[in-house]
Amino acid sequence: MGVLKDCIENKDFTSIPVWFMRQAGRYLPEFREIRKRNNNFIDLCLNPIVSKEITLQPLKRFSVDAAIIFSDILLIPHALGQSVEFKRGFGPQLGELEINKVLEIPDSDILNKLNPVYDLIKITSKDEILKGKDLIGFVGGTWTLLVYMLNRQSPKKLNDNIFLYSNKKQLIQKIINTQKLHIKKQVDSGASVIQIFDSWAGLLNNDKLEEFIYQPTLEILEYTRKLGVQTICFPRGIENYKQYCDIIKPNAINIDYEVDPKTISENIEIPIQGGMDPKCLLLDKNEMLNKAKEYLEIFKNHKYIFNLGHGVMPETEPENLKILVDFIKDYR
């Protein structure tokens, strides 16, 4: 396994691992080329041969230290029997949620649907190009998955109906059980690190964090600890990252670009990942590198994994990513 895992495990202080959320995606012409021929995004995620190719595309261009599997957090609702479609220019659209059917769906049916993801991990983790590097598997956070399943599209703001749903507790437990199953299979298949994307954590008021974020995430982290896999959490937009870390105790924490990195570096001791605004990759080269330097300086006495505060934007010039990665590799 690679320097990312070593950094999180505290073994290696000397290098700064680097990878990017959404490093495989629409900013890459070679991804767009494949996407043109594959209209159905879920089918594309469930095609191990092609999704392996996409997973490795960024590694052919940049000296990143990890690949993240080409997949999507919404494969869990898909596996639970809720339809998921990606409409161009709109994002995901989920079908009617038949909650009683979801609650009864057996693990074997879920795994049948998700098996291609495990095949993808098996064939990708053995590829030469990943020698000494990590392969990151992932799931959405329980709260974020609940939001998508009930809201059926990306939320602009929180619809309070979500809290009124009957069977909510059983649905949350079903999501947690499926997340655990999905994590275990990814690890068994060769994922060396797991990231949990709780992309809508920032929508919740503080009085709801306990029920919708802390309790479910604690259960999952207790599970990943038993599996022995390093887990990075990304509760995007959460107000109090320190409190989150004190309660959840993830192995590493990804921060978003709205929090002050200096305060984070002073208050949080575990390895920190990310933070820089993805829009910085749209700036000119020097401005971009100055911003990167700011993060590297602030975290110079900290275990730090270079990444962004959200995914790479589709408008990004791939050449800028190359310049950035090379800069970070030369930094120490």
Q: Which residues bind ligand CP3 (CB under 6 A)?
A: 21-26, 35, 41, 68, 70-74, 86, 91-92, 138, 154, 197, 199, 311
Rank residues 22 and 133 by Cβ distance to ligand CP3 and give the closer one. Answer: 22
CB of 23 to ligand CP3, least distance (A): 5
Rank residues 22 and 303 by Cβ distance to ligand CP3 and give the closer one. Answer: 22
Find all residues with CB under 8 Å of 287, minimum gap 6, and list them. 280
Q: Which of 12-38 are b and which e, b meaning 16 or more Cβ less than 10 Å from the residue's Cβ?
A: beebbbbbbbbbbbebbeebeebeeee
CB of 43 to ligand CP3, least distance (A): 12
Residue nearest to ligand CP3 (CB): 199
CB of 311 to ligand CP3, least distance (A): 5
CB of 71 to ligand CP3, least distance (A): 6
Rank residues 116 and 265 by Cβ distance to ligand CP3 and give the closer one. Answer: 116
Q: Which helix (H) or strand (E) holds 54?
A: helix 48-61
Give the distance, in angstroms, between the CA of residue 285 and the centroid of all CA atoms in the same chain.
27
Q: Are 94 and 72 in contact (CB under 8 A)?
A: no
Q: Are 27 and 313 in contact (CB under 8 A)?
A: yes
Rank residues 145 and 288 by Cβ distance to ligand CP3 and give the closer one. Answer: 145
Find all residues with CB under 8 Å of 17, minimum gap 6, and list them. 2, 3, 4, 7, 65, 66, 305, 306
Rank residues 148 and 299 by Cβ distance to ligand CP3 and give the closer one. Answer: 148
Give the distance, in angstroms, between the CA of residue 25 and the centroid of all CA atoms in the same chain.
13
Rank residues 197 and 304 by Cβ distance to ligand CP3 and give the closer one. Answer: 197
Q: Are 2 and 190 in contact (CB under 8 A)?
A: no
CB of 45 to ligand CP3, least distance (A): 8
CB of 256 to ligand CP3, least distance (A): 10
Count CB neighbours of 104 within 10 A.
Answer: 11
DSSP state of 29: H
CB of 157 to ligand CP3, least distance (A): 15
Rank residues 24 and 120 by Cβ distance to ligand CP3 and give the closer one. Answer: 24
